[in-house]
Amino acid sequence: MDRSSSENQILINREPNGVATVTINRPGSLNSLTGTMILDLAQAFKALDQDHSVRVIILTGSGRSFCSGIDLTAAEDVFKSEEMKDPESNPVIQMDRCRKPIIGAIKGFTVTAGFEISLACDILVAAKGSKFIDTHARFGIFPSWGLSQKLSRIIGPNKAREVSLTAMPLTAEAAERLGLVNHVVEDGEVLKKSREIAEAIIKNNHDLVLRYKSVINDGIKLDLRHALSLEKPDI
């Protein structure tokens, strides 16, 4: 382990093969995020994006949960903080800006802010029985990390409305059928499968992997005619 936050709650492990693993490490609170953790997570992705030795990033959570959202005991300070309004302090913005492929290794609960973080991943591997939950409507908190817009573009607006307006869980199995999750595996196989995908990516041309990810992600935001022009940037 070559870097951690002062309280060891955001861990980064760089492997010699170019895979970096970021672990949300607050298992006693189901990996709920404090303000410090949010800042550290944002800076972790910014640093890994700039690290030329890193080619693929795996994001996971320790213990029984991926991320259960923002710690409600610290939520008021988080939402009112001027620092949190800075894009440099926003982990989802930093993940969206990250050129390296990000694989989300999901198990247990992925709730609200955690759900939004998972949507910033490029590929998701989830354990059987894990659950994605959007509780914004339940607690009267308006989404601000993209869930209201990203989810409907992946699973369709009707299903997204049901997930968000009911605050009912979306299981990993259902999420796979809807195209949100790439693979559902046994709990103990999540990191193994994630590493297999990372190693498959690493075998390819690195510069083209970065460019291909960018073209796909940028193209999603455009109509097809304009998206196709991304393949011919010099025309």
pTM: 0.93
- Which residues lie closer than 8 Å to 158 by C-beta, 6 or more apart? none
- The confidence score (pLDDT) of residue 235 equals 53
Cα gap 90→103, rounded to integer Å: 18
Dihedral (CA of 200, 15, 111, 78) sign: negative
Residue 174, class by beta-carbon neighbours within 10 Å (0-12 exposed, 13-18 middle, 19+ buried)? middle
- Cβ atoms of 198 and 58 within 8 Å: the answer is yes
- Which residues lie closer than 8 Å to 38 by C-beta, 6 or more apart? 70, 78, 84, 89, 90, 91
Q: For residue 86, name the pLDDT band (cuts at 50, 70, 90).
A: confident
Cα gap 154→148, rounded to integer Å: 11
List the single range of 30-34, 108-112, 141-145, 193-197 with lowest mean pLDDT: 141-145
Q: What is the mean pLDDT of residues 144-161?
A: 95
Q: For residue 72, name the pLDDT band (cuts at 50, 70, 90).
A: confident
Q: What is the mean pLDDT of residues 88-107?
A: 96
Mean confidence (pLDDT) of the chain: 92
Of the candidates 67, 84, 77, the one whose C-alpha atom is nearest the C-alpha of residue 120 is: 67
Q: What is the mean pLDDT of residues 62-85?
A: 80
